[in-house]
Chain A
Amino acid sequence: MPTWGEILQELRKVGNELKRAPFDPVRRKYLKKLHDYTGRNIILYAANWTQPSSVPAEFIRISDEDIQGLMEVVSGLSGRHLDLIIHSPGGSAEAAEAMVKYLRSKFDHIRAIIPYAAMSAATMLACAANVIVMGSHSFIGPIDPQVIVHTRLGIRAVPAQAIIDQFNKAKRECRGSPKNLAVWLPIVEQYGPALIKECEEAINLSKALILEWLTKYMFSEEENAKKRAQLVATRLAKRSQFKSHSRHIDREWAKKIGLKVENLEDDDTLQDLVLSIFHATTHTFDATPAVKIIENHLGRAFIKRVQQQIVVSQGPPKGLEEEQQ
């Protein structure tokens, strides 16, 4: 299994030989090798979120601009099979839905490969695959939505279910004892006119989306697809079970929840290539201002840096383009 240090040594060697930054060439080399090995299209969707840094959340989360990135990397791909390598903290459920719609219009069979972690909305994205591939070190996360609330203490991301639970608690405590209202009022006042309803709808949306995707894709060949999907959706969205939105669900737990998960270690070559891509990607994040990379095996990429974004658009080199056709 390649290590972080071995990839670093390779980066140094390639940097000396090419006399340029070696991160793009090395990462792309392994993306191409993975394509050569599997015969499937490869798309890397990775954000700089596990490295210690001060990158603002809005730069790395799943957002509508990712569609632009996917458009860039889907362009020029042939074939209906895709391996989607996901390394993401999550983000907007609505953007994830748009990504799934777009990817599913292009690919019939999708494997979501998680080299380390795909949390929250990125877990939802993985649930739209036919199968999820995880290592023993890989994680997904709960899908209960977080709501951005402007409080007197500043902007906070609060679990939607926690807001509903707290509101119900306030109702209970004030029903028999109106004097408790004075204690609860400063908290309830911050909720705004429609927050409780919005929370309920956000919870319903995340469950409904993965119910639909699991039924349609992951469990499509099973007789009780909808029932199984319902069970998984309910379990992944159950905040009381996980206690924290950042809870890491490992492979065995994901299987117990009911997801269709394959072991990355079952195929040594696949594991080596996926981890080589992952290490090369984290080195890229550590050493350059790139904070999000959406890239395919032909070297086409959409790269976002800390302050501004640019679509890196250029056809693949002639040799590769011919090979892909």
Chain B
Amino acid sequence: MANVKAEPETKDNEFNEMKTLGEIAGIEDLMAVYGEYQNLMQIVTAYLKETSPKFLFSTTDSTS
């Protein structure tokens, strides 16, 4: 969950597991098959760069 803190070791394991899951065939492979990989990466980069939540009110405490 985005708002649950994890210990560093658990975080590493979680990250590695996510990386492994991400390596299973998915959208990138799908687009590559149709020769649209570069197009996908351009759209993805633009989305992640330009889309921002306008307002974010959260009780998540990241100070401790």
- Measured CB to CB, the residues of A under 8 A from B are 1-12, 14-15, 17-18, 20-26, 28-30, 32-33, 269, 272-273, 276, 283-284, 286-290, 298-301, 303, 305, 308, 310, 312-314, 316-317, 319-320
* Contact A290–B27 (Cβ < 8 Å): yes
Q: How many Å from the CB of A270 to the closest CB on chain B? A: 10
Please name all residues of chain B whose beta carbon is closer than 8 Å to the beta carbon of A316 when the two chains form the complex. Answer: 24
* A17/B15 contact (C-beta < 8 A), A28-B21, A319-B20 known: yes
Beyond A21-B40, A303-B26, 12 additional contacts (C-beta under 8 Å) are A5-B58, A12-B48, A22-B48, A24-B21, A24-B22, A272-B2, A273-B1, A289-B40, A301-B25, A305-B30, A314-B25, A317-B23
* Contact B28–A20 (Cβ < 8 Å): yes
**Cβ-closest chain B residue relative to A25:** B22
* A312/B3 contact (C-beta < 8 A), A24-B21, A25-B18 known: no
Please name all residues of chain A whose beta carbon is closer than 8 Å to the beta carbon of B31 when the two chains form the complex. Answer: 288-289, 305
Q: How many Å lie between the Cα of A299 and that of B23 in the bound state?
A: 9
Q: How many Å from the CB of B24 to the closest CB on chain A? A: 4
Q: How many Å lie between the Cα of A197 and that of B19 in the bound state?
A: 55
- Judged by DSSP, the binding face of A is helix
* A6/B20 contact (C-beta < 8 A), A287-B43, A288-B40, A314-B25 known: no
* Contact A28–B48 (Cβ < 8 Å): no
| Cβ 8 A contact of B2, one of A10, A25, A317 | A10
* Contact B53–A4 (Cβ < 8 Å): yes
* Contact A29–B43 (Cβ < 8 Å): no
- Judged by DSSP, the binding face of B is helix
23 A-B residue contacts at CB 8 Å? A2-B3, A5-B56, A21-B28, A22-B48, A24-B26, A25-B21, A29-B14, A30-B1, A32-B21, A272-B2, A286-B47, A286-B51, A288-B43, A289-B31, A289-B36, A289-B43, A299-B24, A305-B34, A312-B26, A312-B29, A312-B30, A320-B20, A320-B21
Size bracket of the B interface = 35 or more
* Contact B25–A28 (Cβ < 8 Å): no
**Cβ-closest chain A residue relative to B4:** A272
* A314/B24 contact (C-beta < 8 A), A14-B18, A25-B19 known: yes
Q: How many Å from the CB of A267 to the closest CB on chain B? A: 12
Q: How many Å lie between the Cα of A8 and that of B49 in the bound state?
A: 10
Q: How many Å from the CB of A69 to the closest CB on chain B? A: 13
Q: How many Å lie between the Cα of A316 and that of B3 in the bound state?
A: 28
